[in-house]
Amino acid sequence: MKKFLSFRSVEKIAFITVIVSVSICFVCIAVAYLLALEPLIVINEWDFLAFLGSIVGGVLTLVGVNMTIREQRNERLAAKYEDSVKQLMRVNKELTFIINARNMVVTNSNTNEKDILNTMRLRAGTLNNFIEIINKNMSEIMTSLNLTTYRVFEIKFNFLSSNFALYYKNIDYHLNPTNNSLGKFEKKLNEFYDKAIDIRTSLDEYEKEILDKYFKIDKKSRH
């Protein structure tokens, strides 16, 4: 069965090959320079070997330091991605209820028919709970996302939060049958739910993207 080299292994081999090639070039230049100076200064065999040894030692040190820095960078990234994924997983789990919340129905215990007013109140309260959970976890969400992604998320969430608040604080008015605004409120509530589900879906996608980055970094560190 054929065994293929991993990307990380190929990357290491390519890097070492380049360093060795550059080192050989430097050695050749150094030898040529010393030979050119030989008529002017006395160079014995030990001086020459010491000079070459210092070059080789310096190159090996450079290779070792570079590889160590790269490994440490990967470890830091892996730790960062792991923390971000854990935070987003926890938040997403808390927000799962919003996916089917708009289908919740309150029935009249006497007639067993849909109680429209209490159904709208329940759905609005559930959406308000969704917004409160995000506000509570906003700092964790912010630290889990890069700046550009967070700004997009923040704009979407602030739009939902601010617009819904205008309706929710006047919910008694909107649910008063004499005001003839129930139909409009129900329509707006469905629009708010569309935006809330879109936000929950976005967080789920962010989690998957970061998890994918974590697995790539983790895979590199194992080879």
Tokens linked to 69: 């820095």
Rounded Cα–Cα distance for residues 18 and 13 (Å): 9
* Structure confidence by residue, pLDDT tens digits, 170-186: 999 999 888 888 889 99
pTM for this entry:
0.70
Tokens linked to 144: 């889990």
* Structure confidence by residue, pLDDT tens digits, 110-131: 888 888 899 999 999 999 999 9
Model confidence at 22: pLDDT above 70: no
- For the chain, the structural domain boundaries read 7-76, 83-221
What is the number of other CB atoms lying within 10 angstroms of the CB of residue 195?
Answer: 17
b/e string for 92-120 if b means 16 or more Cβ within 10 A? eeebeebeebbeeeeeeeeeeeebeeeeb
Nearest to 128 by CA among 162, 153, 177, 155: 162
Backbone φ and ψ of 107, nearest 5°: -105, 150
